[in-house]
């Protein structure tokens, strides 16, 4: 349900953007959208390897004037979800000119390593890490909307966007933060509160994790007597 809402939300933004564009160029935009000529009207949504990446056929074909053959089938198979299944469907591969990177190279179209939010949706749910300890949360919204940080403030120098990547690293520990890695780049006591203070701001613990996952709290033995 949440995903549908998220898609609807992004869709609404895009739609209103198109409306504004339509107002600028009424003659061009009056043309009815022809799926046979321009591809699926609905946004393509990828959820692998990261959740919430959007592609609009309309923007690329109808507005930018690309042919179907510009991308199909050399860069992308037409079959839905085909790209998602590929191990190399990553930002690194795109940087090497694969997939979107064929055009999004910084000259033909904006570089794949810029304007992340043009395609990537910022995760709405909190990021929850359960390694090396259970559990730590990070809210994108707090940092981007409330603090006004860009995606580039953390991605990809401090954190790759790939979900769970940091958890796999051996150095994803408090000691690294004290050395200025990961969250410690800002949470150093001057830019933001120091990493060795206010522990429970991010550490929600086993109890917090259970609540987040909607599990019933473990009953205390005191309940029985």
Partner 1 sequence: MKINELATLKAESPDTLPSAERRNFLKIGLAVTGVYLGGTVLSLTSVVDALAEGPVPSSGKYPYSPHYTMVLREHLCIDCELCKEACVKTNNVPSYGYRTTILERRRDIVGGEKETIFMPVLCNQCNRPPCVRVCPTTATWKDEKTGIVVMKNSRCIGCKTCMAACPYNARYFNEETRAVDKCDFCWESRLSKGETTPACVEACPADVRVFGDLADHNSRVFQLLHTPGSIVWVLRPETGAIPNVFYTNA
End-to-end CA distance of the chain: 41
- Residue for token digits 């409306």? 19
Query: Which of 1, 4, 27, 220: binder of partner 1 (CB under 8 A)?
Result: 220
Find the binding residues for partner 1 in span 125-144 (CB under 8 A).
132-134
189 scored as a contact of partner 1 (CB under 8 A): no
- Contact, 127 vs 138, CB < 8 A? yes
Q: Which is nearer to partner 1, 114 or 201 (CB)?
A: 201
- Contact, 39 vs 33, CB < 8 A? no
Q: How far is the CB of 190 from partner 1 (least distance, A)?
A: 18
Q: In the structure encoding, which two tokens stand for residue 217, read together?
A: 């709290």
Q: Which is nearer to partner 1, 30 or 197 (CB)?
A: 197
198 scored as a contact of partner 1 (CB under 8 A): yes
Q: How far is the CB of 79 from partner 1 (least distance, A)?
A: 44
How far apart are alpha carbons 47 and 151 in whole angstroms? 19
How far apart are alpha carbons 83 and 110 in whole angstroms? 21
Instruction: By CB under 8 A, name the binding residues for partner 1.
Output: 132-134, 198-201, 203-208, 220-222, 224-225
């Amino acid at each position: 349900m949440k995903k549908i809402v998220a898609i609807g939300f992004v869709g609404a933004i895009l739609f209103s953007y198109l409306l504004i564009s339509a107002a600028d160029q009424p003659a061009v935009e009056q043309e009815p959208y022809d799926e046979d000529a321009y591809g699926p009207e609905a946004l393509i949504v990828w959820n692998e390897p990261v959740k919430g990446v959007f592609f609009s056929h309309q923007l690329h074909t109808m507005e930018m004037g690309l042919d179907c053959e510009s991308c199909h089938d050399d860069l992308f198979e037409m079959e839905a979800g085909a790209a998602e299944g590929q191990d190399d469907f990553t930002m690194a591969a795109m940087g090497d000119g694969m997939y979107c990177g064929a055009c999004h190279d910084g000259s033909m179209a904006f570089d794949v390593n810029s304007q992340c939010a043009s395609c990537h949706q910022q995760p709405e749910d909190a990021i929850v890490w359960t390694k090396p300890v259970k559990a730590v949360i990070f809210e994108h919204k707090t940092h981007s909307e409330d603090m006004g940080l860009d995606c580039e403030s953390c991605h990809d120098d401090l954190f790759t966007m790939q979900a769970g990547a940091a958890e796999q690293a051996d150095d994803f520990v408090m000691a690294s933060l004290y050395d200025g890695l990961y969250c410690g780049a800002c949470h150093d006591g001057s830019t933001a509160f120091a990493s060795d203070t206010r522990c429970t701001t991010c550490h929600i613990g086993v109890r917090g994790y259970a609540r987040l996952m909607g599990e019933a709290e473990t009953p205390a033995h005191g309940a029985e007597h």
